[in-house]
Structure formats: structure tokens, C-alpha cells
Amino acid sequence: MHDIPGNLERVRQRIARAAERAGRRAESVLLIGVSKTVEVARIRDAVAAGLPALGENRVQEARAKIAELGRPVPWHLVGQLQTNKAKDAVELFDLIHSLDRLELARELDRRARQRGRPVEVLVQVNLAGEAQKGGVAPEALGALLDAAAGLDHVRVRGLMAIPPESPDPEDARPWFRTLGKLGKRHALPELSIGMSGDFEVAIEEGATMIRVGTAIFGARPPRPGKEPGER
């Protein structure tokens, strides 16, 4: 039995303590509950307990959940996005965290223009150059941002990254710090960093959005084909 309200309250307390250590307000951090593989009843419990945003990794899974739940809070796409899913993503999500290539930016722009409303995105950066993860290389970030700036219906709000997996949250700190420096260099205010195992370190390093799944919803059922960066 999962105590969703209790889990959520404990996460809130941890956010508040991390923000205090960093001299920030807890309200400056958006908590996104990553609900991939979580059944609708548990998601409802989390929203009723005050979860402010939901995150999904897969377009198809999100479509089914949004059809059943509606939009009680904003929905975020936090997983990799295939270009052929851009039309669905523009329709379903309030913010896409995983723009990582010009081809995708152009397709999002085309689909958003057809819909008559700009799409808001974060650019995913592959800080460690891990082949199994999406993300633009840090040295190519500027060129992608310049190209995206020329698209009328794509709004880049910030950066996202998934650091190399490690049992020690402190190992993520240099990666989070690097992304923060990139964000400042390009005058991008939003940083989507931190998951269940390291979100406190992320907050200390400037996260404005954290993506927390198991700490709220409990352990996920095992499934084949674990996605890069899942925690």
C-alpha cells in the first residue's frame, strides 16, 4: 500500500530543507511527479494531495492517461521524443523537456504552427556524452539554440540534463553545476535537473524543476527495456 500523500509531504519537506540550505524559496522549485507506469488511481491521489505537475516519458502512455484524467495540472514530457511523435507531443504536453536536435525543433515548430499556439520546450544536454542517452553535446548547444531562436512557434525556456547514474547523489553535483553555467551563459532561466535520488543536490545547484517518481509513487514494477536515466 503506497502512502501517496505522506510520500508527497516528505518530498516537500526535503525540497524545503534543500532550498533553505541554498538560500532559496521552496516555491522557486517546481515538483514534477513522474507518473510513467503508475496507474491512474495513484496519480489521482497525488494530484488530490497537491502535486503541482505530472511528467510522462512516453507519448502513447500519456495520451491514455490524459484521456482519463484530463488536465488537473500541467503535463510535462520528460522522456526522449521521436520526430514522428511531434504532432502528438504538441497536442498533449504543456512543456517538452527533451528537444535535442534541429530536425525535431523544426518539426515541433511546424506542428505548433498548424495548431496555432507556440510549443514550450527545454533543450536536453548530454553533458557526459553518454551514447545511450539523448541530448545535444554541450559544444553544439549554442548552434541549436541559435537555430531554435529563428523558429516562430518554438519557445526555449531552459535546459534539462540527466547525469551519469551513481549511487552517490554528490556525484551529480558537478554535472548540475555545469548545466547551470550553460544556462547562465545562454540567459535561460529554467533548469530541469534532479530525480528521486539526487533532487536535493539539484536544488542546491539551482534546479527550477525536479523530476521525482519513486519517492512519490513508490517502486515501479519491473519491465524490460529500461530507458536511459530512469530512476
**Structural domain boundaries of the chain?**
4-217
What's the pLDDT band for 219 if we cut at 50, 70, 90?
confident
Average pLDDT for 162-174: 97
Q: What is the mean pLDDT of the chain?
A: 95
How far is the C-alpha of 166 from the C-alpha of 7, rounded, in Å? 23
Residue of 97, 88, 99 whose CA lies nearest to 66: 88
Over residues 99-113, the pLDDT tens digits come to 999 999 999 999 999
The correct CATH number of 4-217 out of 3.20.20.10, 3.20.20.140, 3.90.76.10, 3.40.50.2020 is 3.20.20.10
The pTM of the full predicted model, rounded to 2 decimals, is 0.94
Residue 37: its pLDDT value, please?
95
> What angle separates helix 102-115 from helix 141-149, to the nearest 10 degrees?
20
Residue 229: its pLDDT value, please?
41
- DSSP codes, 9-58: HHHHHHHHHHHHHTT--GGGSEEEEE-TT--HHHHHHHHHTT--EEEES-
Residue 222: its pLDDT value, please?
63
Residue 223: its pLDDT value, please?
56
How far is the C-alpha of 114 from the C-alpha of 134, rounded, in Å? 26
Average pLDDT for 1-22: 94
Write out the H or E segment, with its range, that includes residue 188: none
Residue 220: its pLDDT value, please?
77
Over residues 186-200, the pLDDT tens digits come to 999 999 999 999 999
User: How would you classify residue 30: left for phi > 0, otherwise alpha for psi between -120 and 50, otherwise beta?
Assistant: beta
Residue of 124, 126, 122, 115 whose CA lies nearest to 92: 115
Over residues 138-165, the pLDDT tens digits come to 999 999 999 999 999 999 999 999 999 9
pLDDT at 185 over 50: yes
Over residues 14-48, the pLDDT tens digits come to 999 999 999 999 999 999 999 999 999 999 999 99
What's the pLDDT band for 1 if we cut at 50, 70, 90?
low
Residue 224: its pLDDT value, please?
46
Start-to-end CA span in the chain (Å): 20
